[in-house]
Amino acid sequence: MPTYNTEQYPGNHKKMFNFLIEEYQYFLVKSVKTDFGYIDEYRNNNIRIVMNYDVRDNIFYFDIINGYNTTYPNDSDNENIKMFHDLFSKHETVALQRVMPDEKQYVQSLYLNAVLLRKYGDKVLRGEEWV
């Protein structure tokens, strides 16, 4: 069971994903701490980025959603809801575990998600192509 402190997550998250606001003009429309983790949602026209860090289950649910009105979450929608990992995997082989928190850390994995989203997500974030 992980024993690291997650109190700095909101600050780390905002710093690492600030490029969505600065470079892609996204709006942070939701940023909440729940009983079990953190949820941040960014929007820009037709693309939504939802990042849910479930601390109890030690997992990142980081998704890209196509469509302002697309229902989320939705177990059956594999067309308009994609994991960050789906995008990364189109460009390079990345083990799912590398972009997930593990027993020892969450910060490096969070950082890797930000780096790869910035590296491979340009056209998707601009709404010019889909995953």
Q: Which residues bind other proteins (CB under 8 A)?
A: 1-7, 34-37, 39, 52, 54-59, 61, 71, 73-78, 81, 83, 85, 96
Output the smallest distance, CB 25 to other proteins, in A. 26
Q: What is the nearest approach in angstroms of other proteins to the Cβ of residue 23?
A: 27
Cis peptide before 73 (omega within 30 of 0): yes
The string of DSSP codes covering 71-128 is: -SS-TT--SSEEEHHHHHHTTS---GGGGS--SS-SHHHHHHHHHHHHHH-HHHHTTS
**Which residue number, 19 or 58, has a Cβ lying nearer to other proteins?**
58
How many Å apart are CA 124 and CA 17, to the nearest integer? 15
The residue (of 45 and 73) whose beta carbon lies closer to other proteins is 73
Distance CA 78, CA 72 (A): 11
- DSSP structural state of residue 131: -
Query: Quick one: 3 or 69, whose CB is closer to other proteins?
Result: 3
3-state secondary structure of 53: strand
The nearest distance, CB 72 to other proteins, in angstroms, is 8
Shortest distance, CB of residue 80 to other proteins, whole angstroms?
12
Select 6 or 66, whichever has its Cβ closest to other proteins.
Answer: 6
